[in-house]
């Protein structure tokens, strides 16, 4: 699957769906983004079961602000609607593949149990996204 351009209009629908979604926050003027772009695209062709989305931070300022994107590229990974990873930096292909393997191995029932326990202890905080 090729990458999907994400915007305010389709972000929640795409990222909130079941399964694994990788989101690349980028901008046209960003040198490291241009280096990471082909790595991200190639990975999207190798992992057809994962949704690969791209957010142009210049065109989608509100999305970048909502996720507190301070430096680009930033890669965010969401699985079953839960953000599991969000870090700036252009990953080399091998590191991206390693991250994907780790994300696939996450026990989502355990993650949901941890979230529920945290919310029970601290109260649930309103979601701004």
Q: What is the pLDDT along the chain (129 residues), one digit of tens a residue?
A: 579 999 999 999 999 888 999 999 999 999 999 999 999 999 999 999 999 999 999 999 999 999 999 999 999 999 999 999 999 999 999 999 999 999 999 999 999 999 999 999 887 655 544
DSSP letter (8 states) at residue 50 = S
Q: What is the pTM of this model?
A: 0.89
**Active-site residue flag, 30:** yes
Q: Pick the catalytic residue: 20, 23, 33, 39?
A: 33
The reported pLDDT for the residue numbered 1 is 54
**Active-site residue flag, 88:** no
Q: Pick the catalytic residue: 6, 15, 30, 91?
A: 30
CATH number of the 4-122 domain: 3.40.30.10
The reported pLDDT for the residue numbered 125 is 59
Smallest CA-to-CA distance from 44 within 25, 26, 10, 20 is with 20
Q: Sign of the CA dihedral 57, 112, 122, 87?
A: negative
Number of Cβ within a 10 Å radius of residue 32: 14
The reported pLDDT for the residue numbered 128 is 47
């Amino acid at each position: 699957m090729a990458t999907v351009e994400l915007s305010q209009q389709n972000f929640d629908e795409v990222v909130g769906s079941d399964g694994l979604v990788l989101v690349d926050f980028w901008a046209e003027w960003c040198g490291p983004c241009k280096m990471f772009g082909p790595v991200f695209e190639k990975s999207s062709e190798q992992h057809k079961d994962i949704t690969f989305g791209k957010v142009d931070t210049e065109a989608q300022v509100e999305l970048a602000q909502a996720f507190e994107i301070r430096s680009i590229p930033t890669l965010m990974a969401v699985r079953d609607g839960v953000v599991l990873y969000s870090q700036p930096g252009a990953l080399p292909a091998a590191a991206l593949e390693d991250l994907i393997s780790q994300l696939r191995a996450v026990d989502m029932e355990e993650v949901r149990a941890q979230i529920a326990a945290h919310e029970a202890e601290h109260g649930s905080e309103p979601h701004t996204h």
